Amino acid sequence: MHHLPLSVFCVTRHLAASRTHTQLLSNLLYHNSPTSPPSYSTSNRSYEAEILLSPTMRLTIPHTSSHIGNLGVMHETKVVGLDAGEHTTSDGETVGVPHSALTEIHRQMVIIVPCKDEPPETIEGVLCGIPAACLILLVSNSDRDAECDGFQAEVDMLDRFCRYSHRRAMAVHQKDPAASAAIRNAGMPELIGNDGTVRNGKGEGMILGLAVVAALLPEMRYVGFVDADCKIPGSPHEYCRAYAAGFASSPHSDDDHIMVRLRWAAKPKVRNGRVDFTVTEGRSSRVVNAWMNRVLGLLWERTETNGLPTTIDCERIISTANAGEHALTMSLALKMRMAGGYAIEPFHFVDLVERQLRSPSLTPSTSVSSNQSVLTESSINTLDMTPIRILQIRTINPHMHTETDDDHIHNMWKAGLGTMYHHLLPLCAVDDHLSESVSDLRREMLDFVKEQDRLVEGRKPQVLGASAAQPIQGPFSHEIVPRPRVYPPLETLDLAMLQQVLNRSGWCESLRRIGEGWRHVSKP
């Protein structure tokens, strides 16, 4: 268990007025300073004074965290005030992040909205909730045909939205042949399917979005994701503010590696004609969180026996395994391997933990081979020596979205389990003692999936004369526990080439820059 050094939180005289809000906030949070009354500069812009005056978002402070090597996972904190007034000082339990600090981060943040066939008015509701300072990038995989071009309807909506709100946005379609060819030629043929375009899948859309940001918006430091099917515009507003609050309250410099993952306050369900707000964990999250805590529980134990930092309460450390809503520094986004489809979010943990396990500093005697892994020596090295921090924040708003059927949920949690079954668990078996626990857990996971498959099949209407029920196949694999499709880090792409091609006039039909104020793009 790690207590963060932030018990004293006060505004101090010696803080330079030239500092940005985020630096100031980090300083306040992470460095104990002599207590003294706030100073109010008249000659320079006084951040101390502004911090006291601008409305704040308030979060509880993460007092504990768990570590494997250089990866630190902060235990869940929560939003306790969307606008908590003027009190940015901390009582040791909570911290207020001023509006101006949030805006400073939002100005450097792209919010990627993956969408697929949502009504444009639903997507517009989501966009309305995204703070004005953020740049929006819509990555669509909506149906396009001559009679009904879903993407064109989205672009029309985006055009109107930008006109009304006087802001800028971008859009790209996942099936754009030229954009897909550019990705392939820049060095990621894995992302391209048999039809020559980016593969279907939410994860694949997110990776395309990240590639566009890296190539065309290299000045942006943060990227966040918000689902397009959220029905309450206030929710994405809070999500984006929580992302910025997470970054603001975590000390970092330009190239630091931080991820903020959200857990929704509730995932309301309609039951017997009533909306039930008491459901606090989604059907998929419930399964994937529980298994991830069990698997990582093995690792904490293992690092403990190696005399390395360890943790407490293994069952509750991860509460955001399936965080569709998350944000990260671009510096981290470029270095991570990402998985396709709905495996993308659980795989974030798997990738970051796997890097630690493969790091010679943690496991000099690891005997695990790197088959089926695109984790090359160079891609390990860019991350494993630097600290990586994951913050988990619980929101105040619930997430109301399009309710999906049981098969969708079933495949989603199986995709999450697949990331551990195929990637993480095999890596954990590095000594005899653990090898036994790992085999047991892997077998248990397999039995669990088989049993759930059987139950689902049993609930389906039986067709007379049909043969015995077959296990449901994962979206990417014919294995009982689906093997995720894993893509190499974006930093392996030739981003200069990608930029050149994407910028070629009239080349990528779907790539749109909408609204005013687009300037010439700087080199990546």
Query: Could you list the residues that contact Mg ion (CB under 5 A)?
Result: 229, 401
Q: How far is the CB of 262 from ligand GDD (least distance, A)?
A: 10
Q: Is 138 in the site for ligand GDD (CB under 6 A)?
A: no
- Which is nearest to 222 in space by CA: 200, 197, 248, 202? 248
Angle of helix 344-358 relative to helix 377-384, nearest 10 degrees?
90
Residue 510 near which of Mg ion, ligand GDD, none (CB within 5-8 Å, type-dependent): none
Selected binder of ligand GDD within 72, 131, 251, 282 (CB under 6 A): 282
Give me the residue whose beta carbon is nearest to ligand GDD: 324
Q: Is 205 in the site for ligand GDD (CB under 6 A)?
A: yes
CA distances from 480 to 195, 421, 428, 445 (A): 26, 11, 21, 11
Q: How far is the CB of 171 from ligand GDD (least distance, A)?
A: 11
Q: How far is the CB of 72 from Mg ion (least distance, A)?
A: 30
> How far is it, in rounded angstroms, from Cα 475 to Cα 414?
10
CA distances from 72 to 81, 300, 386, 455, 513 (A): 25, 12, 11, 38, 37
Q: Which is nearer to Mg ion, 221 or 401 (CB)?
A: 401
Q: How far is the CB of 57 from Mg ion (least distance, A)?
A: 25
Q: Which is nearer to Mg ion, 263 or 512 (CB)?
A: 263
φ, ψ for residue 113, nearest 5 deg:
-115, 100
Q: How far is the CB of 342 from ligand GDD (least distance, A)?
A: 5
> How far is it, in rounded angstroms, from Cα 141 to Cα 498?
20
Q: Is 401 in the site for ligand GDD (CB under 6 A)?
A: yes
Residue 437 near which of Mg ion, ligand GDD, none (CB within 5-8 Å, type-dependent): none
φ, ψ for residue 311, nearest 5 deg:
-145, -175
State the virtual CA torsion across 176, 177, 179, 182 in degrees, nearest 10.
170
Q: Which stretch binds ligand GDD (CB under 6 A): 79-87, 91-99, 148-156, 398-406?
A: 398-406
Q: Is 492 in the site for ligand GDD (CB under 6 A)?
A: no
- Number of C-alpha atoms within 13 angstroms, CB side, residue 225? 26
Q: How far is the CB of 337 from ligand GDD (least distance, A)?
A: 17
Selected binder of ligand GDD within 21, 58, 106, 202 (CB under 6 A): 202
Q: Is 383 in the site for ligand GDD (CB under 6 A)?
A: no
Residue 282 near which of ligand GDD, Mg ion, none (CB within 5-8 Å, type-dependent): ligand GDD
Selected binder of ligand GDD within 125, 201, 246, 251 (CB under 6 A): 201
Q: How far is the CB of 200 from ligand GDD (least distance, A)?
A: 5
Q: Is 229 in the site for ligand GDD (CB under 6 A)?
A: yes
> How far is it, in rounded angstroms, from Cα 316 to Cα 297?
10
Q: Which stretch binds ligand GDD (CB under 6 A): 111-119, 352-360, 361-369, 386-394?
A: 111-119
Q: How far is the CB of 104 from Mg ion (least distance, A)?
A: 30
Q: Is 285 in the site for ligand GDD (CB under 6 A)?
A: yes
Q: How far is the CB of 403 from Mg ion (least distance, A)?
A: 8
Element (H, E) at 65: strand 65-68
Q: Is 488 in the site for ligand GDD (CB under 6 A)?
A: no
CB contact at 8 A, 174 and 204:
yes
Selected binder of ligand GDD within 88, 141, 329, 392 (CB under 6 A): 141
Give me the residue whose beta carbon is nearest to Mg ion: 401
**Would you list the DSSP string of 77-142?**
EEEEESS-TT-----SSEEEEEHHHHHHHHTTEEEEEEESS--HHHHHHHHHHS-TTSEEEEEE--
Radius of gyration of the chain (CA): 23
Selected binder of ligand GDD within 293, 322, 359, 411 (CB under 6 A): 322
Q: How far is the CB of 220 from ligand GDD (least distance, A)?
A: 19
> How far is it, in rounded angstroms, from Cα 160 to Cα 152?
12
- Listed in sequence order, the residues at least 6 apart from 286 whose beta carbon sits closer than 8 Å to its beta carbon are none
Q: Are strands 94-98 and 77-81 parallel, antiparallel or unpaired?
A: unpaired
Q: Between residue 24 and residue 43, which ones bind ligand GDD under the rule CB under 6 A?
A: none
Number of amino acids touching ligand GDD (CB under 6 A): 26
> How far is it, in rounded angstroms, from Cα 245 to Cα 127?
19
Selected binder of ligand GDD within 54, 197, 284, 359 (CB under 6 A): 284
Q: Which is nearer to Mg ion, 176 or 229 (CB)?
A: 229
> How far is it, in rounded angstroms, from Cα 137 to Cα 343?
21
Buried b (16+ CB within 10 A) or exposed e, 16-25: ebeeebbbbb
Q: Is 116 in the site for ligand GDD (CB under 6 A)?
A: yes
Residue 473 near which of ligand GDD, Mg ion, none (CB within 5-8 Å, type-dependent): none
Selected binder of ligand GDD within 111, 139, 391, 508 (CB under 6 A): 139
Q: How far is the CB of 116 from Mg ion (least distance, A)?
A: 10
Q: Is 510 in the site for ligand GDD (CB under 6 A)?
A: no
Instruction: State the greatest distance between any 2 C-alpha atoms of the chain, in Å, as a whole number.
Output: 86
CB contact at 8 A, 85 and 214:
no
- In 10 A of CB 104, how many CB atoms? 20
Q: How far is the CB of 137 from ligand GDD (least distance, A)?
A: 11
Q: Which is nearer to Mg ion, 70 or 235 (CB)?
A: 235
Residues that bind ligand GDD (CB under 6 A): 114-116, 118, 139-141, 174, 200-202, 205, 227-229, 282, 284-285, 322, 324, 342, 345, 401-402, 404, 408
